């Protein structure tokens, strides 16, 4: 899949089949995450791949907007060291993960982390060091059904030239 097609067709998926995802595909997806843009090349990210069903269920139970994490065969949890641009860097890594999953024919959905009430509990459960901040969790798997296409604002509505 070419990059522009991936950017224009990726959708959030919240219902997954239970078939496992190959470890080599998961590694490729994480590799794409680690290659994201990063301020001053700090690369503050760490990626925890969770495939164990009991652990995914515990994560899903902690996060009311991420119940589908229990169904997805993979959850990639993204942490960053607490550096100046941790949120921007971690968000860029997650966007790469979403696009890489899509390029592999998988569905995914980003669940917010930073500043959420469950951050400490997720970090503790996954044994993250104290200098790590939860950026987000990404559920990944084969979609149970085709993803819906939500309405998007028209380009003419959001594009401004020279000034707002």
Residue 164 maps to a domain = no
**What pLDDT digit, counting tens, does each position of 116-141 carry?**
999 999 999 999 999 999 999 999 99
Residue 95 maps to a domain = yes
**What pLDDT digit, counting tens, does each position of 66-107 carry?**
999 999 999 999 999 999 999 999 999 999 999 999 999 999
Residue 136 maps to a domain = yes
Q: What angle do CA 64, 60, 132 make, to 5 degrees?
A: 95
Buried (b) or exposed (e) across 13-26, using 16+ Cβ within 10 A?
A: bbebeeeebeeebb
Residues counted in the chain: 164
Cα separation, 109 vs 115, in Å, equals: 18
Cα separation, 138 vs 162, in Å, equals: 36
**Structural domain for 34, as ranges:** 3-158
Is it the case that residue 148 has pLDDT exceeding 90? Answer: no
Asked whether the beta carbons of 74 and 27 are under 8 A apart, the reply is: no
Residue 163 maps to a domain = no
**What pLDDT digit, counting tens, does each position of 16-41 carry?**
999 999 999 999 999 999 999 999 99
Asked whether the beta carbons of 68 and 109 are under 8 A apart, the reply is: yes
Range 53-57, long-range pairs (CB < 8 A, 24+ positions)? 55/125
- Beta-carbon contacts of 152 under 8 Å, excluding residues fewer than 6 positions away, are none
* CATH number of the domain enclosing 113: 3.40.109.10
Residue 26 maps to a domain = yes
Cα separation, 143 vs 138, in Å, equals: 14
- Beta-carbon contacts of 160 under 8 Å, excluding residues fewer than 6 positions away, are none
Q: How many domains does the chain have?
A: 1
Cα separation, 108 vs 158, in Å, equals: 26
Residue 109 maps to a domain = yes
Asked whether the beta carbons of 61 and 121 are under 8 A apart, the reply is: no
């Amino acid at each position: 899949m070419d990059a522009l097609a991936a950017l224009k067709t990726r959708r959030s998926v919240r219902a997954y089949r239970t078939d496992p995802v190959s470890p080599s595909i998961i590694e490729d997806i994480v590799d794409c995450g680690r290659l994201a843009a990063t301020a001053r090349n700090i690369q503050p990210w760490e990626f925890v791949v969770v495939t164990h069903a009991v652990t995914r269920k515990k994560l899903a139970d902690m996060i009311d907007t991420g119940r589908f994490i229990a169904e997805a065969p993979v959850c990639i949890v993204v942490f960053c060291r607490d550096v100046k641009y941790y949120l921007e860097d971690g968000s860029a890594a997650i966007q790469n993960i979403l696009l890489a999953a899509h390029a592999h024919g998988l569905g995914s959905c980003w669940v917010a982390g930073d500043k959420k009430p469950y951050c400490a509990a997720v970090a503790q459960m996954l044994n993250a060091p104290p200098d790590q901040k939860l950026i987000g969790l990404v559920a990944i798997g084969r979609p149970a059904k085709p993803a819906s296409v939500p309405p998007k604002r028209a380009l003419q509505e959001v594009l401004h030239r020279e000034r707002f």
